[in-house]
A = this chain, B = another copy of it.
Amino acid sequence: MTVETMPAPAAHPFQSIDAATGEAFGAPFATHGPADVDAACAAAEVAFDAYRALDREARAAFLDAIGDEIVAIGDELIVTAMRESGLPRARLEGERGRTVGQLKLFAGVVREGGYLGLRVDPALPERQPLPRPDLRLRMVPIGPVAVFGASNFPLAFSTAGGDTASALAAGCPVVVKGHPAHPATGALVAAAILRAAEKTGMPEGVFGHLVGPGNDLGEALVKDPRIAAVGFTGSRGGGLALVRLAQARDVPIPVYAEMSSINPVILCPEALKARAADLGTAFVGSLTMGAGQFCTNPGLVLAIEGEGLDAFVDTARTALGGAKPTTMLTKGIHAAYEAGVTALSGHKHVETIGRGDVGEGITCGRAAFFATDAEAFLADESLGHEVFGASSLLVRCRDEAALHRVLKASEGQLTATIQMDAGDVDFAARLVPILERKAGRILANGWPTGVEVTHAMVHGGPFPATSDGRTTSVGSMAIDRFLRPVSYQNLLPDLLPAELRDDAAGTAPRLVDGKPA
């Protein structure tokens, strides 16, 4: 996704902003400074060895308890998040469910133990010319993790969101840099995490929460030598700045930044022939959902010119005309959206297919659908940049070869969608190898918005979709980002981690001599 990392410098004192009106409300929040970063990181470092040494059930119980405490906040959480984010009740109730579901998913992952990647190669004392030692491997947590809350998922990808859940599951203490667009929501959730930590007997310092406007706080956090990895969802500029900071440290650390994606949707010829109108309506539904403020918003549509495409465009235009204007998350995000849409509107090779209703709120976005052709798209890379919000660009292609050229020239993406009918199988089969190199998830006959939190999900993708396309930030595989392997050679059982001892066989999956045992 692309949002500005921070809103404009807040008035002192730092307060919540009503997304719909732009007015400050509620009690002021302390702006945390360098001393707070130091204290939180020191506490996380102290907590690390105790936290990682806990048995898996204790850590799983902590994750479960966080979910319970979030639910126990009750409606105050929803009402607060609604006002700070402008998102509607149903969406935030659903997001709360997803947040709790993520925590429970990772509790299950911890209990199951497959993430430990246990491997045992037993000693071969008779091997010639030299005996083979006993070798055992497990994944260990990487160290305290800094998590940057995202503005567009004030619950599911913020204070107790996916990055926090996966890092805590891995055995890493977490220091959250709360998003300044929803400080009251963040404070409620942070307090819930701390209550869960206390109730389940977690070491002090296992979770810290820092807030404040401006970039200094996040910079200090990433530079702190006790921080071992960073999770971030936000703008390309913000993500790349964190990557640079992390690489300039004496000891560089990994940054998992989810940054920028326009999520191409390819409309195959037979699908367009059979159901162009349905596709046009459904596309606008995906485009305008949540004011288009999803990392997986369909910002690029590719199709071959013809009657089917014309029908798709007509229906999309009509559907867009009826799209209600929606409050966006912050004034900054709205301003960036308007700037992006204005630039596309004025581009000499871009035609405006349609716009949504004009809204009255100061942060109301008017959905927008534009069109260009393959040659223009290939000639101007700015046309491939994300406009965060409900904006999408159709690229009309003369033929399949042109469509392939556009895909191959596009940047790395979180998702790529194929709308196809039975007669498109060969056409789609030629797309898949191209899409596999461009995206973390390939989907057919659905829309990219809506990300299942499950085991086989990849919410990641080649640069610049993320800063590290070898990983995912959603789904159970996200835990791998915060682990590293350690091998133990000829250690006495008393010195081995409990899960690697012979008597622990069966308590977590392990490979013995490379084979599932």
Contacts and interface: CB of A to CB of B under 8 A. Distances in A.
Contacts of A468: 254
A103 interface: no
A494 B252 CA distance: 44
A237 to B, nearest CB: 15
Interface stretch (A31-39, A303-311, A427-435): A427-435
A100 B488 CA distance: 25
A21 interface: no
Given A53-B433, A251-B463, A469 B452 contact: no
A452 B112 contact: no
B114 A441 contact: no
A486 interface: yes
Contact-residue size bin, chain A (C-beta under 8 Å from the other chain): 35 or more
Interface stretch (A137-145, A200-208, A386-394): A137-145
Contacts of A442: 486-489, 491
Copies in the complex: 2
Contacts of A440: 484-487
A37 to B, nearest CB: 21
A204 B259 CA distance: 36
B486 A441 contact: yes
Contact of A432 (B433, B456, B495): B495
A483 interface: yes
A353 interface: no
A452 B485 contact: no
A275 interface: no
Contacts of A247: 243, 247
B509 A137 contact: no
A494 B425 contact: yes
Contact of A136 (B143, B456, B464, B469): B456
A132 interface: yes
Given A455-B121, A511-B114, A487 B441 contact: yes
A346 B462 CA distance: 50
Interface in A382-427: 412, 425
A488 B514 CA distance: 27
Nearest to A459: B487
Given A247-B247, A455-B119, A485-B458, A514 B53 contact: no
Contacts of A108: 514
Contact of A470 (B433, B483, B489): B483
A428 B485 contact: no
Contact of A494 (B142, B143, B429): B429
8 contacts: A114-B516, A137-B477, A140-B436, A425-B495, A442-B487, A454-B514, A460-B484, A472-B485
